[in-house]
Amino acid sequence: MKQFSQLKDLVAKVMYLAKTPWLLKKIYPQLTWDIKPAGRCIYLTFDDGPIPIVTPFVLNILKQYNAKATFFCIGDNIRKHPDVFEQVKADGHAVGNHTYNHLKGWVTDDKTYLDNFLLADELIGGNLFRPPYGRVRRSQTKLLKQAKPDLKLIMWNVLSGDFDTNLSPEKCLANAIDNTTSGDIVLFHDSLKAFDRLEYALPRAMEYWAGQGYIFNSLAL
């Protein structure tokens, strides 16, 4: 058990690196960390919405670049802001499940976790799921896949760090553009907590990537 808790600490630490190390991908091969696209393509993902102001801000920037992205939504936010959720879908983006109450898998019993996923699934549907905090037990992924055999668990391999209130907007931008190459799944948050950094970094990063010839696709593959 001690070893397992040390492994969990290590995982928690490396999850916060801007670029996901190959070792983590080896430890969790059943999760999707990146994609091999045909051309130069970046997969932008936005977690924790939909909410007013921040989500529409993101939608507006995406529109400017004719970009499609993936929004991992919290069920309870959809309940509170159904119109924002409808706008995300109307704009042609993919939506994925991020549980109903943003549960942390490692401290939640399996049944509660599954029920919370299913509650969000009633609103979101589809086959994309991202575990909040990237923390999910194997027993939980097994239950989710039993409930939805075609479910894809989507992680990320570039972390902008926009959720970190100690990080400057400039560093958040640097995290995103210095670490991203074709096929990467980049994680941002359409949350109030992240907005100071997101508002600065997202438009600048997209301008940079578009200038490098990248296109932006959703994970609705």
What residue ranges bind Zn ion (CB under 5 A)?
A: 47-48, 132
Q: Closest approach of Cβ 200 to Zn ion, in Å?
A: 20
| DSSP alpha helix (H) spans, 40-194 | 54-64, 75-80, 82-90, 110-124, 138-147, 169-179
Single out the catalytic residue among 47, 48, 184, 190. 47
Contact of 96 with 73, CB cutoff 8 Å: yes
Q: Which residue is nearest to Zn ion (CB)?
A: 47
> What type of residue is 96?
G
> What type of residue is 184?
D
With residue 2 as reference, give the H or E element that holds it: helix 2-15
Q: Closest approach of Cβ 133 to Zn ion, in Å?
A: 7
Is 81 part of the annotated catalytic residue set? no
- Identify which of residues 104 and 148 has a Cβ nearer to Zn ion in the complex: 104
- Identify which of residues 48 and 162 has a Cβ nearer to Zn ion in the complex: 48
With residue 33 as reference, give the H or E element that holds it: none
In angstroms, what CA-CA distances link 78 with 52, 84, 99, 105?
11, 8, 11, 21
Q: Closest approach of Cβ 190 to Zn ion, in Å?
A: 10
Is 93 part of the annotated catalytic residue set? no
CA distance 34 to 158: 9
Contact of 96 with 46, CB cutoff 8 Å: no
Structure tokens at 86: 């409808």
- Identify which of residues 96 and 132 has a Cβ nearer to Zn ion in the complex: 132
Alpha carbon 98 to its chain's center: 8
Q: Closest approach of Cβ 189 to Zn ion, in Å?
A: 7
- Identify which of residues 132 and 161 has a Cβ nearer to Zn ion in the complex: 132
Q: Closest approach of Cβ 160 to Zn ion, in Å?
A: 13
Contact of 91 with 66, CB cutoff 8 Å: no
- Identify which of residues 93 and 182 has a Cβ nearer to Zn ion in the complex: 93
Catalytic residue positions?
47, 189
